């Protein structure tokens, strides 16, 4: 289904312009005529240049929209519906204030809803824009007549998740930038600065100190065999991509990540925060636990933890207790197992999961800060030693020549 813009005249001789979703221009004309409009012009909808890249017809290519923009859309819809605005008018309002690929997605939603589809059904037609969690919560909200509350709960969940992710990214981005800049500076010194400084000394056949000989050997190797590290980087990148895309390779990688010091504990707790928040959001929306667990599995990035949730689902479906099922998997920490068990026993699962999410979210923030505190000085120290060694290797022979002249 594509989106078209139209110019038409109503029965009251009023000029109208707008957009409509249809499979073909002919179908679009027919739909407009059914509304009592006289179509004067119809053309393909063309968003802005940025949106054009993300606007793709279903069945040809998939459309992908920035997660932050989708969260803002959910929040706006929840606000408008909570204020008593009908769904169609709410979609029309959000479409007018949005640009790019998301605007076309909203238009498709509006026209599918206008044609009689539910909001969840219309969202299901755009899987790259709306994930299964959003679709399920919207579906439950429509069935219960509490769509505004359900969307507000979904928006709050997405905002909390984005906040945790951004906090972790912020903690790691500075060490990454320092590493990249330091590596480029070291390569520049070794390939451009060092050869020019040492060339006159080499031509005079002067004896070079050991650090200078080491740096010169590395510099000559980079200049002469630069293609070796280039090929190595390409091979590593291709190999990592192949491992990442294969199920077995991704499982091994995710298992390795969980075993890494500092990082493994951080990744595990971040995934547990997501599990607790998703489950809590789904349960509050009225979705049964087993179904909520199925949806949660698809939101967890680590394959090992995802498989653990799947085993829990099988055990619970067979009649087992939640706590016992999680304990048998031997992936989840005792605190998480205890919270799930107490939640089931007390009948306050949503409340207990919210507490668990907040506790682990606080630990993720602390662990991120500690990781940044450890990485930053360690990386700076290593880079400083490398640069100092290069500078020392360059300066030593010059000083020796100066002493010899005196």
**Domain count for the chain:** 2
CA torsion 355-358-359-363 (nearest 10°) is 170
Mean pLDDT confidence for 262-275: 84
Token digits for 172? 């790691």
Domain that holds residue 406: 166-406
Residue that terminates a domain, selected from 14, 29, 45: 45
Residue 346 lies in a domain: yes
Residue 357 lies in a domain: yes
- Quick one: 170 and 41 in the same domain? no
Phi, psi of 4 (to 5 degrees): -125, 150
Mean pLDDT confidence for 283-302: 85
pLDDT value for 60: 32
Regarding predicted confidence, which is higher, 203 or 280? 280
Residue 321, domain CATH: 1.20.81.30
Residue 52 lies in a domain: no
Query: Structure pTM?
Result: 0.64
Residue 256 lies in a domain: yes
**Band (218; pLDDT cuts 50, 70, 90):** confident
Residue 286 lies in a domain: yes
Residue 38 lies in a domain: yes
Mean pLDDT confidence for 146-159: 86
Q: Is 58 left (phi over 0), alpha (psi -120 to 50) or beta?
A: beta
**Band (278; pLDDT cuts 50, 70, 90):** confident
pLDDT value for 57: 40
Token digits for 3? 């989106």
pLDDT value for 65: 67
């Amino acid at each position: 289904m594509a989106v078209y813009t139209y110019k038409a005249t109503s029965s009251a001789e009023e000029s109208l312009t707008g957009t409509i979703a249809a499979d073909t221009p002919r179908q679009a004309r027919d739909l407009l005529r059914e509304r009592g409009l006289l179509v004067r012009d119809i053309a393909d909808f063309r968003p802005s240049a940025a949106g054009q890249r993300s606007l793709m017809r279903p069945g040809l290519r998939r459309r992908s929209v920035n997660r932050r923009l989708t969260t803002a859309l959910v929040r706006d819809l929840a606000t408008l519906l909570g204020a008593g605005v009908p769904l169609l008018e709410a979609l029309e309002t959000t479409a007018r204030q949005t640009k790019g690929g998301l605007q076309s997605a909203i238009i498709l939603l509006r026209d599918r809803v206008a044609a009689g589809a539910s909001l969840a059904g219309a969202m299901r037609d755009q899987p790259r824009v709306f994930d299964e969690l959003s679709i399920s919560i919207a579906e439950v909200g429509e069935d219960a007549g509490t769509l505004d509350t359900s969307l507000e709960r979904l928006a709050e969940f997405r905002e909390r998740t984005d906040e945790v992710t951004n906090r972790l990214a912020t903690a790691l981005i500075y060490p990454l930038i320092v590493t990249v800049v330091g590596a480029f500076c070291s390569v520049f010194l070794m390939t451009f600065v060092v050869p020019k400084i040492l060339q006159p000394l080499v031509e005079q056949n002067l004896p070079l100190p050991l650090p200078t000989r080491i740096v010169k050997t590395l510099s000559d190797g980079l200049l002469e065999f630069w293609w070796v590290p280039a090929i190595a980087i390409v091979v590593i990148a291709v190999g990592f991509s192949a491992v990442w895309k294969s199920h077995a390779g991704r499982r091994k990688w995710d298992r390795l990540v969980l075993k890494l010091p500092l990082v493994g504990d951080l990744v595990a707790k971040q995934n547990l925060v997501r599990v607790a928040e998703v489950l809590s959001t789904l349960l509050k929306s009225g979705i049964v636990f087993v179904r909520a667990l199925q949806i949660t599995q698809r939101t967890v990035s680590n394959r090992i933890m995802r498989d653990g949730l799947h085993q829990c689902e099988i055990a619970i479906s067979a009649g087992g207790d939640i706590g016992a099922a999680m304990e048998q998997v031997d992936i989840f920490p005792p605190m998480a197992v205890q919270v799930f068990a107490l939640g089931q026993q007390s009948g306050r699962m949503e409340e207990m999961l919210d507490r668990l999410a907040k506790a682990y979210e606080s630990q993720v923030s602390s662990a991120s800060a500690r990781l940044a505190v450890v990485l930053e000085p360690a990386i700076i120290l290593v880079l400083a030693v490398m640069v100092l060694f290069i500078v020392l290797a360059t300066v030593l022979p010059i000083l020796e020549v100066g002493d010899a002249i005196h």
